[in-house]
Amino acid sequence: MIGIIGAGAFGTALAVALGTGGRQVRLWARDAAQVQAMQESRRNDGVLPGVLLPENVSIHAEIADVCGGQALLLAVPMQSLGALLDQWPQIDARQPLVACCKGVDLSSLRGPVALIEERRAGATAAILTGPSFAADIAKGLPTALTLATTGDGAALQDLLSTQTLRLYRTNDVRGAELGGALKNVIAIAAGTVIGAGLGDSARAALMTRGYAEMVRLAEALGARAETLAGLSGFGDLVLTCTSSQSRNFRFGHALGRGEAFDATITVEGVATARAVMRLAEGMGVDMPVTAMVDALASGRIALNDAIGQLMRRPLKQE
């Protein structure tokens, strides 16, 4: 049995993919009314309209019901992960704990795996990350992801792979965490460029320079550059900087157009930009794109001023 905590779009999509792949899946949702509705309709139309849950996926209101299996996937937003682990002691080290979120925790400046290891001593902690939209996974479209864990990871890789979900594993946990976190920041910047009408050439330049600072910070924190060149870094960056399915891209697009954005939608890149700037400044790592995203998202700078500051930076070798 595979347990999944979090019946948002990504948690539900993973339940569909794993259930379709023949796994027994138990999915937990916080809201009892949502649980009942999903049990009756076999759908989660609020986040994945029209997608049916396989019969071997059960929906639960009690968190203990989904714990203790072969693996437990934690499909909650990054800024909620610490609170989840603090609130529910039933989430323990009996099974591997796999984070399915991207970002840096604002209070501790830790990534998902480090946060799990801090709260659950002795647990096998991992992160599942990479270029993926929930709708694509739920439809059974081919998707490749990175599974990063400090252990061997082969058994977990086999357990979570299906005919439509292909996992590659790595032991560079820090690199996989940072790739998934930092690309959200650059996606906001890319959306801002397009929303402001600055064109595809500017977006390509922004993505390239953004990727350079992703690698710069990752290496400073002990990650491997080749990890950032893989699915969890470059692959995810391309996806989220070029598609309106990305919430971070849509947020940036609204920012570029000077429009309000739906406050009920989680945009991980905003908090990540703030947390990453605290990390980067403490280490003396130059991250101009991230700095501008943080300043724009917090309203500390106007868009034209941000563009001007980036374009007026000293000329240098690439």
Catalytically active residues, by annotation? 183
* Pair type for strands 125-129 and 143-149: antiparallel
Rounded (5°) CA angle 298-274-305: 45
161 is in an annotated binding site: no
Half-sphere exposure in the Cβ direction for 171 (13 Å, CA) = 5
Q: Token digits for 37?
A: 């509705």
107 is in an annotated binding site: no
Is 248 annotated to bind a ligand? Reply is: yes
**Known binder of ligand: residue 158?**
no
Which string of b and e fits 157-167 if b means at least 16 CB within 10 Å?
bebbbbeebeb
Residues 6+ apart with CB under 8 A from 41: none
- The 8-class DSSP code of residue 91 comes to S
d(CA 237, CA 41): 35
Does 139 belong to an annotated binding site? no
Instruction: Check whether 11 is labelled as a binding-site residue.
Output: yes
- Cβ atoms < 10 Å from Cβ of 15: 32
> Is 8 labelled as part of a ligand binding site?
yes
Annotated ligand binding at 271? The verdict is no
200 among the known binding-site residues?
no
Q: Of 71, 183, 180, whose CA–CA distance to 125 is shortest? A: 71
Binding site annotation covers 130?
yes
Q: Is 268 annotated as a binding residue?
A: yes
41 is in an annotated binding site: no
d(CA 219, CA 214): 9
Which residues belong to the annotated binding site for NADPH? 10, 30, 102, 134, 247, 268
Which residues belong to the annotated binding site for sn-glycerol 3-phosphate? 102, 130, 132, 183, 236, 246-248
Which residues belong to the annotated binding site? 6-11, 30, 102, 130, 132, 134, 183, 236, 246-248, 268
Which residues belong to the annotated binding site for substrate? 102, 247-248
Which residues belong to the annotated binding site for NAD(+)? 6-11, 134, 247
